[in-house]
Chains A and B, each alone.
Chain A
Amino acid sequence: MTLASTLAFTAGLVVEILLLWETSESQNVRPRPAGIFAPGLSRLQEALALTLAISWGIIGMVQALALPEPVWLVGGLQNGIMFVSFSFLFVFGMVHPKLLPRVDEQRIFLVNLAVLAGIWQWGWGWQAAFALPTALSLVAAWRSRPLSAFWKSVLYLWYLLCLFLMAYQSALNMFFFTGEESGLTLWDYFVGGAAGIFLLLHSIFLVRFFLMFSANILPPNRALIQAAMPHLMRESQIPPWQFALILSVFGGLIGYTILLGKAPPPQWINLLILLAAHWRPAQKQ
């Protein structure tokens, strides 16, 4: 990777971590401190906006100046990313998963659709394997009655599996190519960094949630999974018109995949997954 692409990847990673933090904070009922420069935003939202602006300013400058890129600098930065990322993933994926965005049945269905488009080229076997869970998640998304804790845990496990498949598919190959070899743009690296940390975080949590899911087996332990699911899945759904709008975008992507016979770029899929996970209806005052 070049210095500019490494910085773009790092910026995506940092922005996504801030976004996860902001999403987690927004789910608390405590009032959040207002921004310093923009009182209409929360302080975290302000920090997010500033990080975006400053990081792209630095990336643009590095790209424009085309300075020599010593191997120790780029290598050191990549090693730093790996160390910080793995620490973050272990702490917030396995030990204290407070940054995982709470999802609902609609979002899970949207992620399911995006991943279905992503794995479409894997062959009819995978398409067939996805058919039943996709249909069931659609039924869950349209139901007005809430699901039981058991079915929520099944749906959530499927959601994590979908995200794991996307992480497996990307394999973060962009981390190991130079800019010239990969043909990727700085924006691709930015989205790759953001999506990478999001997907890996959920993939690590998949290991833990698989163990949590095991609590469904013995009746004395079922109270634990019932108590845990509200912390992972929300009851409220996206407003119907917003869901229809997002569904039309996702449906268009699937149609594009099927009609043209080629898979959409992974960056599009990753963006849609991030959109589905972080989309928040405007808060009523």
Chain B
Amino acid sequence: MRKLLRTLPLIAHILLLFAAALAPLMFLVGVIAAIDRWGIHQRMLTNLAQYGKPAQAQISYVDEEYNRAGLHFWDEAGEERYGTLDLRFYPPAVQAQILPDAQVEILYIAANVSESEKTVLREYYSQVQNAPGVDVDVWGLLAVSWLLVMFHPQFVFAGILPFDSLFDPAALEKKGLRP
């Protein structure tokens, strides 16, 4: 039992090192995801500012897994269109009212441009404009991977420094690379 307890920190250290080996890739994925989501959000806001028109819409479905709702409405040309509503921009009290068949006032993008399927609630437009484009989950991924690298940065230096020197500070000193 004592031997097992003595081995536990070593096991934890090995698992942490394994996670640290994956952390640079996780961080890169997080950065790409953050840039992508920020870009999508900015494009939507730019197109809403340029082509936004008000309309009355009816909620078709609510997707709780992806936190969005589908809706349909008639544009100013009288054609029926379908759009999506991202629910993460709105307070919980408002989200609770977004139910199938509910009527909402929206702003939609009245042009055939990117993100034209996206709509926002007209009453909360300024809130959407001020909302961060990147979700908390992406920030969490970036923070966790960064923390892993901060404590175990050896794998980030692989390919630049000799691998045998990455885990042995004494090896760095022997090669004359003293801090």
Q: A207-B27, A211-B24, A223-B179 are in contact. Are A217 and B156 (CB under 8 A)?
A: no
Contact check: which of A96, A208, A222, A223 meets B24 at CB < 8 Å?
A: A208
Chain B binding surface, main DSSP class? helix
Chain B CB within 8 A of A125 CB: no
Q: How many residues of B contact A (CB 8 A)?
A: 24
Q: A211-B24, A223-B169, A227-B165 are in contact. Are A97 and B159 (CB under 8 A)?
A: yes
Chain B CB within 8 A of A215 CB: yes
Q: In whole angstroms, what is the CA distance A207 to B161 when docked?
A: 18
Chain A CB within 8 A of B40 CB: no
- Chain A residues near B179 (CB, 8 Å)? 219, 222-223, 226
Contact check: which of B156, B169, B172, B178 meets A212 at CB < 8 Å?
A: B156
Q: Are A231 and B150 in contact (CB under 8 A)?
A: no
**CB-nearest residue of chain A to B147:** A214
- Chain B residues near A207 (CB, 8 Å)? 27-28, 31
- Chain B residues near A223 (CB, 8 Å)? 169, 172-173, 177-179
Q: Are A97 and B172 in contact (CB under 8 A)?
A: no
Q: Would you give the shortest CB distance from B119 to chain A, in whole angstroms? A: 26
Q: Are A224 and B161 in contact (CB under 8 A)?
A: yes
Q: Are A211 and B146 in contact (CB under 8 A)?
A: yes
Max chain B CB contacts within 10 Å: which of A97, A223, A228?
Answer: A223
Q: Would you give the shortest CB distance from B117 to chain A, in whole angstroms? A: 21
Chain A CB within 8 A of B66 CB: no
Chain B CB within 8 A of A67 CB: no
Q: Which of A196-230 contact B (CB under 8 A)?
A: 204, 207-208, 211-212, 214-215, 217-224, 226-228
Q: Interface readout for B122-160 with A: 1 if CB under 8 Å, 0 if not?
A: 000000000000000000000000100111011011011
Q: A223-B177, A226-B179, A227-B177 are in contact. Are A211 and B160 (CB under 8 A)?
A: no
Q: Which A positions have Cβ atoms within 8 angstroms of B?
A: 94-98, 204, 207-208, 211-212, 214-215, 217-224, 226-228, 231-232
Can you name 5 A-B residue pairings with CB atoms under 8 Å?
A215-B156, A223-B173, A227-B165, A228-B157, A228-B161
